[in-house]
Amino acid sequence: MEEFTQSIHFDRRLFRYDIEGSIAHARMLGRQGIISPVEERSIKTGLKAIRKEMVTGTFIFDIKDEDIHMAIEKSLIRRIGKAGEKLHTGRSRNDQVVLDVRLYLRAEIKNLLILLKNLKSELVETAKREKTTIMPGYTHLQKAQPVLLSHYLLSFWEMFDRDEQRFRDCQKRVNVMPLGAAALAGTSLPLDRNYVARLLKFPTVTRNSMDTVGDRDFIVEFISSAALVMMHMSRFCEDLVIWSSSEFHYIEISDAFTTGSSIMPQKKNPDVAELISGKTGRVYGHLMAMLTILKGLPMTYNRDLQEDKEPLFDTVDTVASSLEIFTGMLSQITFMRERMEQEAGRDFSTATDMAAYLVQKGIPFREAHGIVGRIVEYCLDNKKELSDLTLVEFRKFHTQFDREVLARLQTASSVNLRKTIGGTAQIMVEDRIRDIEKFS
Ligand code: ARG
């Protein structure tokens, strides 16, 4: 029973926050005259001594203590006696555990926001370096139209920027002070919840004691935001895996972020990218676990809720380590510019430009689409690329073709004519980089 119900082997990770919360609670009890100044001081000294032992690793954790809250309280009572028995006044582990998790998650989100910022900066730096590099843009993983590599990189900047916004938004709901809800109904003792909130730098306190101890929405929200970050990284990683294959050879990932095979001496595997993709699955799993733990749970606190911590902790670890290593890997990728540009011009990737060209000559789009379709067919039959065609050949398909069409077939012209807001033209990408650097 003890072995099965204990949570100390994972919730010991919360010790700093448990002690920080208890010190604030004791200060409030002292200020309210519920405990004496001597008792308050003795509790604070005792808690700090415990913290020191936990930091240095000399504290002995015992599963008989069940969880981190009991371990710290029992140790405090052993150290300072009677005064220690007063710490839990007006408090329950039900509100205490929520406080610890909120303090923990608040700090972790802060850290994740830094990691996301680093990744976004790396993307902008790389985009600036690759500002004029042209690559094939894909839909259905079929070559579609030429785009700038910088435009591709900034598409992920947008995704990670939304992730950052989601974390910031989630942080607002994490950053609410729960202590004072006690077991579920509040307490008859004269606690000052706002004072505890001020001490712990919470802008507000929770408004309903039953909701306070029963709610884990903020964990679901957090894991769901983390799942999206992982999903974004996994998509980027999959492109990198494909691009690093010899069939594509658009990039080379630095040796520091690849491994060899134990049997095939020629292999260089993109393990980091693959692992990030794989780890996305475990974060999705944690999201599903958390939603399932909460489903149909009667109000208010139920021991089921103890199962929230491992999914949460592992999500934090997984997304943090993935962001960090992904940023490192990205900073050491070599983009094979010539190869990308060469491929960007192949497989009729400028066919749409050809149709647009005819549209500008007054030909209805559908008709233009048909004409270019026939040109592509002709090229396929004669094993030619669009750029191999002469003006004479073009004019066989429509008399409106003139010299200008040959220039239009260049990938650079294809890219740079796409000047709609959010388009891939170099001036638009430069605009976006300027805005990003100015406003974020
Ligand atoms: N270890 C528990 C948890 O993580 C702490 C709260 C326990 N409360 C209780 N009434 N048994 O949820």
| Residues belonging to the active site | 140, 261
Residue 265 has pLDDT above 80, yes or no: no
**Cβ contact 179:92 at 8 Å:** no
Residue type present at position 90 = G
Question: For atom 3 of ligand 1, which residue has the closest CA?
Answer: 306
Question: In whole angstroms, what is the distance from residue 241 CA to residue 8 CA?
Answer: 40
Segment (H or E) for 135: strand 134-139
Contact present, 232 and 288 (Cβ < 8 Å): no
Q: How far is the CA of 97 from the centre of ligand 1 (A)?
A: 7
Assign domain 2-89 one CATH number from 3.30.70.3400, 1.10.275.10, 3.40.50.300, 3.90.1300.10: 1.10.275.10
pLDDT band at 266 (very low <50, low <70, confident <90, very high): confident
- Please tell me the predicted confidence (pLDDT) of residue 52: 98
Among protein residues, the one with the nearest Cα to ligand 1's atom 12 is: 306
Model confidence pLDDT, tens digit, residues 175-222: 999 999 999 999 999 999 999 999 999 999 999 999 999 999 999 999
Contacts of 434 (CB under 8 A, 6+ apart): none
Give me the residue spans of the domains in the chain: 2-89, 94-130+145-342, 345-439
Distance in angstroms (rounded) separating the CA atoms of residues 27 and 30 = 5
Contact criterion met (CB below 8 Å) for 150 and 133: yes
Cβ-based neighbour number of residue 155 at 10 Å:
16
Q: Are strands 333-335 and 134-139 parallel, antiparallel or unpaired?
A: unpaired
The pLDDT tens digits for 273-306 are 999 999 999 999 999 999 999 999 999 999 999 9
The strand pair at 134-139 and 142-148 is best described as: antiparallel
Cα(304) to centroid(ligand 1), Å: 9
* Residue 27 parent element (H or E): helix 15-31
Using the predicted structure, report yes or no on whether residue 108 has a pLDDT greater than 90.
yes
Q: How confident is the model at residue 159 (pLDDT cuts 50, 70, 90)?
A: very high
Query: Thinking of the domain 345-439, which architecture would CATH place it in?
Result: Orthogonal Bundle (1.10)
How remote is the CA of residue 299 from the centroid of ligand 1, in Å?
Answer: 15
Closest residue (by CA) to atom 2 of ligand 1? 306
Confidence of residue 261 (pLDDT cuts 50, 70, 90): confident
Determine the Cα–Cα distance for residues 124 and 154; give it in Å rounded to an integer. 7
CA distance 305 to 252: 46
pLDDT at 440 over 90: no
For residues 6 and 196, give the distance between their C-alpha atoms in angstroms, rounded to a whole number. Answer: 28
- Which residues have any ligand 1 atom within 6 Å of their CB? 7, 11, 67, 93-94, 97, 303, 305-306
- Which residue's CA lies nearest to atom 4 of ligand 1? 306
CA 67 to ligand 1 center in whole angstroms: 8
Q: Where are the alpha helices (DSSP H) in 57-148?
A: 68-80, 93-129
The conformational region for residue 423 under phi > 0 = left, psi -120 to 50 = alpha, else beta, is beta
| Pairing assessment for the beta strands 251-253 and 333-335 based on DSSP bridges | antiparallel
Q: 94-130+145-342: what fold?
A: Fumarase C; Chain A, domain 2 (1.20.200)
Longest distance between any two alpha carbons in the chain, whole Å: 101
| 184, 195, 322 from 180: Cα distances, Å | 9, 11, 37
CA dihedral sign of residues 397, 403, 406, 412: negative
pLDDT score of 367: 95
Backbone conformation region of residue 296, classed left if phi is above 0, alpha if psi is from -120 to 50, else beta: left
Report how far residue 104's alpha carbon sits from residue 106's, in angstroms, rounded to the nearest whole number: 5
pTM of the predicted structure, to 2 decimals: 0.95
Residue of 11, 64, 66, 67 to mutate, ligand 1, most atoms within 8 A of C-beta = 67
